[in-house]
Chain A
Amino acid sequence: MDNDKRTLINYVIGFILSLLLTGTAYLAVTNQLFASGTLIAVIIGLAIAQVLVQLFFFLHLGHETKPRWKLVTLLFMLVVLFILVFGSLWIMQNLDYNMMPKHDVEEYMIEQNKKGF
Chain B
Amino acid sequence: MNEEVAVKMRTDKTLFGFWVYVMTDCILFATLFATYAVLRNNTYGGPGSHELFNMPYVLAETLLLLTSSFTCGLALLAARKQQVKQVGLWLGATFLLGLSFITMELTEFAQLANEGHGWWSSAFLSAFFTLVGTHGLHITIGLVWLLVMGAFIMTRGLNEHTLRRLSMFGIFWHFLDVVWIFIFTIVYLMGVA
Chain A residues packing against B (C-beta within 8 Å): 4, 7-8, 11, 14-15, 18-19, 22, 25-26, 29-30, 32, 36, 39-40, 43-44, 46-47, 50-51, 54-55, 58-59, 69-70, 73-74, 76-77, 80-81, 84-85, 88-89, 92
Contact = CB atoms under 8 A, between A and B. Distances in A.
A29 B50 CA distance: 12
Q: Do most interface residues of chain A lie in helix, strand or loop, or is the interface mixed? A: helix
Contacts of A84: 27, 30-31, 34
Interface of B: 16, 19-20, 23-24, 26-27, 30-31, 33-35, 37-38, 55, 59, 62-63, 66-67, 69-70, 73-74, 77, 80-81, 171, 174-175, 177-178, 181-182, 184-186, 189-190, 192-193
Nearest to B171: A59
B181 A4 contact: no
Nearest to A37: B193
A47 B185 contact: yes
A85 B23 contact: no
Given A7-B77, A58-B69, A77-B23, 8 more contacts: A4-B81, A15-B67, A22-B59, A43-B190, A54-B177, A73-B20, A81-B27, A81-B30
